[in-house]
């Protein structure tokens, strides 16, 4: 009787039932679409973050450079044996290459070991993010009474060229975490532990292409020739180093023995990340500990806008539409009950209990809710497909926090007040500092948004549909059940 | 069967207090047929609702087989209605989405009767009303007389002891009216039902054992054709 009565009743007011179901479907479809878009945005963020961090890296540990590290930077043209009194002759050609670490403060290699032993840490690897700076040019004519050495300045117009590329000293024994972990080897091989003290390099594919380098080529790093053993392609958005060399060799060339400037950490579980962060702060005082969520908050551009849109406007829009759909369903259910007052009065006269009548109304509403839910799931999938098809590519610009291990952090580094060159008549001039060296590589990353409907979203939709039906039915049923039968039977239709 | 004493029903209509029933005292015996007449708005239907446990009096006792319907819990009153009281309405009150068969079955649902037994009993009740061939028809596919016969089948399928009929012929033409009243009379006679019938129609009321007149919420017996033995059963009604 329950199902017969339910089926017949729904068939009688099919238009109203369809209308309510469609209302719920729109609300639920919107919820699914917003959730799918949010999932897509999250996946896009993950893509960017993985590229920045390396797959598997949950935390990076860095240190801000010392306060005076951005000061004047000078070098001598005459080689190691020259003195300030031996000014090179005008017209002398020179070229000097050096590895510099100005972006990040040094960390002891021991801190890598200490971090790797912390509770909740799955792996830790040290890295040395450096810049190879090559300055070349011709010595201009000296002014009368000019000081010796490069730092003394030159009166003539500067005719220096600078060439830079980024170098990453990579710890070879921790391949699962670190800057190379997210890269894909396109040619040759990557490092092995046997390469620890070898002059071998792995190049970023972009840099290799740009400079027409390949496996077997050689590249000069800080005046030392390195053999290219492999080419690696990093994910988009990573702003990868141009050249990777063994950490030990980078330390030696940069004069940073037993020092790193980045520690890449993989946590045992996502839940343990905050605990690991706290422990790292304790063992490495003054360190900048950056987690994926910190990094996500530093990402700007339309990806961040989309995330914010999905998080705020999308969520509240979905909630508002869903609430409106629930309200509509409830009102229409109440209205249907009002029209059936005499019917319910008759059933009460036959001895039907209020609970049975409530159950009947509730059953009808739940069926409508489920139909709305199924239609809503369909609409949600369609909405997600539409978002995927119509969404413009999203751009993400990594954060600019000084001291961060991210490429963005490196880009934020400035050469400081003195800039390149030093003193009066300097070659670099004001503001010619290192920002350019690092910052040129900075750029917005384009990520395609793919709205993904998850099982969780579908389950939520079913839950919402049943809830919508229950809410609407409960209100209608409650009203039907509490009608005094005499009053119900007296109602004129 | 019924013993009503001092049954009063008042309700508020705006600021005015309306007295629908004003101290009704009546005893209705088992197997009695009582017709209640009276002008519209003088409390006939309200009295019928008190007898059927559809409403509660403001004051007084509605004793039904030793139970005061005025104070029983809703669940208990429901049970009394489900088992013992059949209703027939002027507008038939069939569930429009259910077939004649299903409408009759609906009366057995609160008794917990199984689906198979429901089907058999409903089909038999319809056959008794001469509607076996209309069992699958929806109410709107039936004439007024047929609908009322379905309603009677629904009222009687559970074998109640009381049949309460509120203007059962009010919406029917004269021929159908006579047909329905004849049917009710036969059922009353054959099944030993207590039949309490509200009507405006004097021709219908004339066929009852007793006729009461409701005026201003008070009931007075104006005709009593019961045999002395039956009258004794009525314990000096009114």
| pLDDT reported for residue A236 | 61
**Contact between residue A366 and residue A426 where contact means Cβ atoms under 8 Å apart:** no
- Residue among A342, A343, A485 whose CB faces B54 most closely: A485
Inter-chain residue contact B107 with A347, CB threshold 8 Å: no
- Work out whether strand A243-246 and strand A160-170 pair parallel, antiparallel, or are unpaired: parallel
For the cut 80, the answer to whether the pLDDT of residue B93 exceeds it is yes
Least confident of A472-476, B124-128, B208-212: A472-476
Rounded Cα distance between A241 and A264, Å, is: 15
Rounded Cα distance between B186 and B191, Å, is: 8
B124-146: average pLDDT: 93
Instruction: Give A24→chain B minimum CA distance, Å.
Output: 25
- Residue among B54, B75, B111 whose CB faces A486 most closely: B54
| pLDDT reported for residue B147 | 93
> Could you write out the three-class secondary structure of chain A?
CHHHHHHHHHHHCHHHHHHHHHHHHHHHHHHHHHHHHHHHHHHHHHHHHHHHHCCCCCEEEECCCCCCCCCCECCCCCCCCCCCCCCCCCCCEEEEEEEECCCCCCEEHHHHHHHHCCCCEEEEEEEEEEEEEEEEEECCCCCCCCCCCHHHCCCCCCCEEEEEEEEEEECCCCCCCCCCCCCEEEEECCCCHHHCCCCEEEEEHHHHHHCCCCCCCEEEECCEEEEEEEEEECCCCCCCCCEEEEHHHHHHHHCCCCEECEEEEEECCHHHHHHHHHHHHHHCCCCEEEEHHHHHHHCECHHHHHHHHHHHHHHHHHHHHHHHHHHHHHHHHHHHHHHCHHHHHHHHHCCCCHHHHHHHHHHHHHHHHHHHHHHHHHHHHHHHHHHHHHCCCEEEECCCCCCCCCHHHHHCCCCCCCCEECCCCCCCCCCCCCHHHHHCCCCCEEECCCCCCCHHHHHHHHHHHHHHHHHHHHHHHHHHHCCCHHHHHHCCC
- Residue among A1, A9, A11 whose CB faces B109 most closely: A1
The segments of chain A whose pLDDT lies below 50 read 71, 79-82, 84, 145-153, 155, 400-442
Instruction: Give A457→chain B minimum CA distance, Å.
Output: 37
Among A133, A206, A76, A159, smallest CA distance to A437 is for A133
Chain A contacts of B75, Cβ < 8 Å? 353
Chain B contacts of A352, Cβ < 8 Å? 78, 82, 106, 109-110
Inter-chain residue contact B83 with A351, CB threshold 8 Å: yes
Structure tokens at A476: 């209608």
ipTM of the complex: 0.90
Among A94, A183, A86, smallest CA distance to A140 is for A94
**Contact between residue A91 and residue A138 where contact means Cβ atoms under 8 Å apart:** yes
Instruction: Give A5→chain B minimum CA distance, Å.
Output: 7
A289-to-A48, A258, A294, B30, B222 alpha-carbon distances in Å: 19, 20, 9, 92, 100
Inter-chain residue contact A489 with B96, CB threshold 8 Å: no
Q: Give φ, ψ of B73 to 5 degrees.
A: -65, 160
Among B124, B90, B130, B146, smallest CA distance to A346 is for B90
| pLDDT reported for residue A306 | 67
| pLDDT reported for residue A77 | 54
Structure tokens at A331: 């009102």
Inter-chain residue contact B97 with A348, CB threshold 8 Å: no
Residues B9-31 have pLDDT tens digits of 998 888 888 899 999 999 999 99
Rounded Cα distance between A5 and B103, Å, is: 10
Q: Any CB–CB contact under 8 A between B57 and chain A?
A: no
Inter-chain residue contact B107 with A350, CB threshold 8 Å: yes
Chain A contacts of B105, Cβ < 8 Å? 1
**Contact between residue A52 and residue A237 where contact means Cβ atoms under 8 Å apart:** yes
- Residue among B75, B102, B107 whose CB faces A4 most closely: B102
Q: What percent of chain B has pLDDT over 70?
A: 95
| pLDDT reported for residue B212 | 93
Chain A contacts of B81, Cβ < 8 Å? 348-351
Rounded Cα distance between A283 and A131, Å, is: 28
Chain A contacts of B106, Cβ < 8 Å? 1, 5, 347, 350, 352
Positive/negative CA dihedral, A314, A316, A319, A323: negative
Residues B67-90 have pLDDT tens digits of 999 999 988 999 999 999 999 988
Put simply, whether the predicted model's pTM sits higher than 0.95 gets the answer: no
For the cut 80, the answer to whether the pLDDT of residue B140 exceeds it is yes
Report the residue count for chain A.
Answer: 493
For B74, nearest residue in chain A (alpha carbons): A353
Measured from the Cβ of residue A401, the count of other Cβ atoms closer than 10 Å reads 19
| pLDDT reported for residue A488 | 78
Inter-chain residue contact A350 with B87, CB threshold 8 Å: yes
For B79, nearest residue in chain A (alpha carbons): A351
- Work out whether strand B59-64 and strand B2-13 pair parallel, antiparallel, or are unpaired: antiparallel
| pLDDT reported for residue B52 | 92
**Contact between residue B10 and residue B170 where contact means Cβ atoms under 8 Å apart:** no
Q: Any CB–CB contact under 8 A between B72 and chain A?
A: no
Best residue in A350, A363, A487 for a mutation probing chain B (most B CBs within 10 Å): A350
Instruction: Give A471→chain B minimum CA distance, Å.
Output: 24
| pLDDT reported for residue A428 | 33
Rounded Cα distance between A318 and A437, Å, is: 46
Instruction: Give A352→chain B minimum CA distance, Å.
Output: 5
Half-sphere exposure of B237 (CA within 13 A, CB side): 30
Structure tokens at B222: 């104006």
Structure tokens at A173: 């024994």
């Amino acid at each position: 009787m329950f199902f017969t009565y339910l089926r017949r009743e729904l068939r009688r007011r099919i238009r109203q039932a369809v209308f309510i179901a469609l209302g719920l479907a729109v609300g639920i479809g919107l919820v699914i679409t917003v959730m799918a878009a949010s999932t897509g945005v999250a996946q896009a963020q993950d893509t960017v973050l993985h590229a920045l961090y390396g797959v598997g890296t949950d935390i990076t540990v860095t240190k801000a450079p010392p306060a005076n590290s951005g000061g004047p930077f000078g070098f001598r043209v005459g080689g190691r044996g020259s003195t300030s009194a031996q000014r090179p002759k005008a017209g002398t050609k020179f070229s000097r290459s050096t590895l510099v670490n100005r972006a990040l403060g040094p960390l002891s290699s021991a801190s890598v070991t200490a971090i790797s032993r912390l509770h909740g840490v799955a792996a830790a690897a040290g890295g040395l993010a450096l810049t190879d700076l090559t300055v070349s040019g011709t010595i201009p004519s000296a002014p009368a009474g000019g000081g010796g050495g490069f730092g003394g300045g030159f009166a003539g117009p500067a005719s220096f060229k600078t060439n830079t590329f980024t170098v990453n000293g990579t710890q070879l024994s921790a391949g699962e975490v670190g800057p190379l972990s997210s890269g894909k080897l396109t040619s040759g091989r990557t490092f092995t532990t046997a390469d620890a003290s070898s002059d071998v390099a792995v190049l970023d594919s972009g840099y290799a292409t740009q400079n027409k380098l390949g496996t077997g080529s050689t590249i000069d790093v800080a005046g030392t020739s390195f053999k290219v053993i492999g080419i690696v392609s990093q994910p988009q958005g990573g702003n990868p180093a141009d050249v990777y060399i063994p950490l030990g060799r980078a330390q030696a060339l940069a004069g940073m023995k037993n020092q790193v400037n980045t520690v890449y950490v993989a946590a045992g579980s996502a839940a343990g990340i905050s605990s690991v962060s706290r422990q790292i702060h304790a063992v490495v005082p003054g360190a900048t500990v950056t987690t994926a969520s910190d990094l996500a908050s530093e990402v700007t551009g339309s990806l961040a806008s989309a995330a914010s849109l999905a998080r705020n406007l999308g969520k509240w829009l979905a909630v508002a539409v869903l609430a409106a759909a629930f309200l509509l369903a409830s009102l229409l259910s109440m209205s249907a009950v009002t029209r059936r007052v005499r019917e319910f009065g008759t059933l009460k006269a036959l001895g039907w209990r209020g609970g049975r009548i409530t159950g009947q109304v509730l059953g009808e509403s739940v069926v409508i809710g489920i139909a709305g839910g199924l239609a809503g799931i369909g609409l949600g999938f369609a909405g997600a497909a539409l978002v995927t098809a119509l969404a413009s590519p999203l751009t993400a610009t990594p954060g600019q926090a000084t001291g961060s291990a991210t490429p963005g952090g490196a880009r934020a580094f400035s050469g400081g007040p003195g800039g390149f060159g030093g003193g009066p008549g300097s070659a670099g001039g004001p503001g010619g500092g290192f920002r350019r060296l690092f910052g040129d590589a900075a750029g917005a990353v384009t990520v395609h948004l793919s709205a993904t409907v998850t099982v969780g979203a579908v389950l939520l939709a079913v839950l919402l549909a049943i809830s919508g039906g229950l809410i609407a039915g409960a209100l209608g049923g409650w009203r039907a059940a509490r009608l005094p039968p005499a009053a119900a039977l007296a109602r004129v239709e | 069967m019924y013993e009503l004493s001092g049954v009063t029903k008042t309700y508020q209509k705006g600021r005015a207090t309306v007295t629908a029933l004003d101290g009704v005292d009546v005893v209705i015996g088992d197997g009695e047929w009582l017709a209640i007449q009276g002008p519209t708005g003088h409390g006939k239907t309200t009295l019928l609702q008190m007898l059927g446990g559809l409403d509660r009096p403001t004051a007084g006792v509605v004793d039904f087989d030793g139970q005061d319907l005025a104070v029983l819990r809703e669940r208990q009153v429901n049970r009394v209605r489900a088992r013992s009281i059949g209703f027939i309405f002027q507008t038939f009150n069939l569930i429009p989405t259910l077939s004649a068969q299903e409408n009759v079955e609906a009366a057995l649902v609160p008794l917990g009767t199984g689906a198979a037994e429901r089907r058999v009993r409903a089909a038999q009740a319809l056959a008794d009303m001469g509607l076996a061939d209309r069992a699958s028809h929806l109410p709107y596919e039936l004439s007024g007389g047929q609908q009322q016969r379905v309603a009677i089948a629904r009222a009687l399928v559970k074998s109640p002891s009381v049949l309460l009929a509120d203007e059962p012929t009010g919406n029917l033409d004269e021929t159908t009216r006579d047909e329905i009243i004849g049917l009710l009379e036969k059922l009353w006679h054959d099944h030993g039902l207590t039949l309490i019938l509200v009507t405006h129609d004097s021709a219908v009321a004339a066929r009852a054992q007793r006729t009461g007149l409701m005026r201003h919420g008070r009931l007075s017996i104006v005709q009593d054709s019961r045999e002395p033995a039956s009258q004794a059963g009525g314990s000096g009604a009114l």
